[in-house]
Amino acid sequence: MLTFIGLGLYDEKDITLKGLEAIRDADVVYAEFYTSPLGGKTVEKMEEVYGKRVSILERGDIEEKAEEWFLKLAKSKKVVLLSGGDAMIATTHVDLRLRAIDMGIETRIIHAPSISSAVAGLCGFQSYKFGKSATVAPPYKGGISEVPYDTIIANKERGLHTLLYLDISMHINEALKLLEMVEGKRKGEVLKKSVIVGIARAGSDKPVVKADYLDALKSYEFGELPHVLVVPGELHFMEKEALVKIAQAPEAI
């Protein structure tokens, strides 16, 4: 059997009891952190709490070599794959599960909290008012992806909020500068006129949730990773109140 287990939002204690039981019952435990950052976790802490050795897999181990050894092992042993957040948020895991099914391997999913479900509560937003998400990535060969900006525009036209995932090594101020460059190229003012919410270390004892306009938010110090952004759509009066009280947004919003 191959069991996919989500580790939750931040540290090694965010795992569910069901996930912990599955780890302790496994023959082999692997983890990957290229689809979601470690956050407050370390391999040493995980091994101490879970009572199992945890081996780290690289991207190529899963996407290119899985059939050669990883999935082959799951045909005869109980294999666990750990990942940050929820177990099936990344398409990489869906692809791996489908390959396992093709090989006749039984699969199981044990879910856990992820930023996609937690973000509404952190901001005080209505969960059903989120539209499509997007990822802000570093420039590639000198080019900046305009997909996140297009996603914000499309969601705003429908009054919906946008959750922007950031590359695992990216800080909020870096992401805002990239988005601002795209807006400058488009000669737009959507971001310039928007209150934006930055969130750091969701799931920790002291997450940072700060809302402000673009120019002010760019210089705010959010501290250690991981970071995400939310660009609000049409705000309900209670959502406005939440941003002021929870995220210290300007009262004029």
Cα distances from 78 to residues 26, 29, 84, 90, 178, in angstroms, run 5, 9, 20, 22, 44
At residue 37, does pLDDT exceed 90? no
pLDDT digits (tens, 9 = 90+) for 39-50: 889 999 999 999
What sign results for the dihedral spanned by CA atoms 237, 241, 246, 247? positive
Phi and psi at 49, nearest 5°, equal -75, -40
- Top CATH class of 115-247 equals alpha beta
At residue 212, does pLDDT exceed 90? yes
pLDDT digits (tens, 9 = 90+) for 106-144: 999 999 999 999 999 999 999 999 999 999 999 998 899
Phi and psi at 3, nearest 5°, equal -110, 125
The helix/strand/coil state of 104 is coil
pLDDT at 251: 92
pLDDT at 36: 83
- Percent of the chain with pLDDT strictly greater than 90: 87
Domain 2-110 matches domain 115-247 at the CATH topology level: no
**Mean pLDDT computed over every residue of the chain:** 95
* pLDDT bracket for residue 67 (50, 70, 90): confident
* pLDDT bracket for residue 194 (50, 70, 90): very high
The pTM of this model reads 0.91
Task: Give dist(CA 64, CA 52) in Å, integer.
Answer: 26
At residue 64, does pLDDT exceed 90? no
Query: In terms of CATH architecture, what is 2-110?
Result: 3-Layer(aba) Sandwich (3.40)
Domain residues of the chain, as ranges? Answer: 2-110, 115-247
pLDDT at 38: 80
**Token couple for 172:** 């909020």
- Edge to edge, the sheet with strand 227-231 lists 134-136, 162-166, 227-231, 195-200, 208-213
pLDDT at 9: 94
